[in-house]
Amino acid sequence: MKKNVLVVGSGKRVKGGIIPALWCLREGFQIAAVYSRSIKELSLLDHQVNIATINSLNHVDFKNIHLAIIAVTTEEVPAVLKTLSLYDTKHMVLMLDTPVMLLRHIWAWRLLKNFKKALVSEDTIALPPFMLARKLIDEGRIGRLKCIYFFHNGFKYHAVASLKMLAGNSPVKAIIDRKFPDRLRQKKFRFHNGVTALLYEPRNYVKGKFLIEGESGFISDYEHAGTNVCRIGYLVENDIYRGLTLNGTKIAVNALDEKYLTGITDDLFNKSLMNTMKIRGLMNLIASADKEHSPFHYRPADGVCDRLIIRMADKLGYFSRALFPC
């Protein structure tokens, strides 16, 4: 039986990522309704998905909704949670986009208890190249992990989430921020397990690259002169992600990869390599949402804390868990 999904929001995130991900997962999920402030017609993926949004939840059959995905601005999140609290949602899983909610709206945190489980749709922890990199690390292909370099390929709290995943889900111990001319910044992270990371800003997903250094080798998504380099490459057609290569050999696809490859068309609201990789990442998050345990479960507290520590580093030039135990 398919799981029914209530989508809240109808903006860029919904049209560019959430609906395409759900379309690719259509064998197991179906959109019950798209709730928006205004009624509009959505036609996506070569007109394969045609949805009329609703502006009232009164006729939604909540007892048969399994998952609610909220993709609105952080300013709107408390009002949406308050509206949903008027209905029976105790059996539903909730997914919220990062950065979840603002500090001044912390009163709305209690409303998360109205759901079976609250998760964050942080797709950057499931981007295909990062998932492959983590697999290579776990296999010992580069020895003990030492340092992760993000060269303009991560954005603030999203980058924190990705770095933590790659560092073995170790908490951030400290961040030191340095400013340079032309809006350039470097953030040095230290994790509790001793791994370090360097994040170079601002983000530029078109030109951004990453490098992972181990005691006996490297993982990179660009040509690197080091020895024992695991070189990750991208298969791209018409700006759409179509798979990965490792040292020139195509990586075998799994069941979700197959669903993605057969579901994605050239007619996308946001057609780019990064956005289509995010769609593939979202599929992992949605498919595992109701599982008891999953490496793709990212909690609201993590989303809020990651935003706070990166803001502290931006404002003060540093973050220390000893001073701010978030």
20 and 106 assigned to the same domain: yes
Exposed / middle / buried, residue 225 (Cβ in 10 Å: 0-12, 13-18, 19+): exposed
In a domain, 114, yes or no: yes
| Amino acid at residue number 318 | Y
Q: Which two tokens stand for residue 22?
A: 């759900």
Give me the pLDDT at residue 18, please: 97
| Amino acid at residue number 180 | F
- Residue whose C-alpha is closest to residue 27's, from 44, 64, 2: 2
In which residue ranges of the chain is pLDDT below 50? none
106 and 147 assigned to the same domain: no
140 and 92 assigned to the same domain: no
C-alpha distance from residue 317 to each of 22, 157, 200, 261 (Å) = 40, 16, 14, 43
Q: What are phi and psi of 316, to 5 degrees?
A: -100, -20
* Size of the chain in residues: 326
State the CATH number of the domain containing residue 78.
Answer: 3.40.50.720
Q: Which two tokens stand for residue 63?
A: 């007892």
Give me the pLDDT at residue 149, please: 98
Domain count, the chain: 2
77 and 116 assigned to the same domain: yes
For helices 273-287 and 255-263, what crossing angle results, to 10°? Answer: 130
By the 8 A CB rule, do 143 and 117 touch?
no
Q: Where are the alpha helices (DSSP H) in the chain?
A: 12-13, 19-24, 77-84, 128-138, 156-166, 255-263, 273-287, 300-316
Q: Which two tokens stand for residue 15?
A: 């049209």
Residues spanned by the domain of 36: 3-121
Give me the pLDDT at residue 220, please: 98
State the CATH number of the domain containing residue 148.
Answer: 3.30.360.10
Q: Which two tokens stand for residue 112?
A: 């998360």
Q: What whole-number distance in Å separates Cα of residue 25 and Cα of residue 187?
A: 37
112 and 169 assigned to the same domain: no
| Amino acid at residue number 256 | L
54 and 193 assigned to the same domain: no
143-153, pLDDT tens digit by residue? 999 999 999 99
Exposed / middle / buried, residue 255 (Cβ in 10 Å: 0-12, 13-18, 19+): exposed
19 and 77 assigned to the same domain: yes
Question: Residue 178 CB: number of other CB atoms within 10 A?
Answer: 10
Tokens 């490859």 -> residue: 261
Give me the pLDDT at residue 323, please: 75
In a domain, 263, yes or no: no
82 and 229 assigned to the same domain: no
First to last CA, the chain: 40
C-alpha distance from residue 312 to each of 171, 189, 307, 315 (Å) = 16, 13, 9, 5
How many CA atoms are closer than 13 Å to the CA of 119, on its beta-carbon side?
29
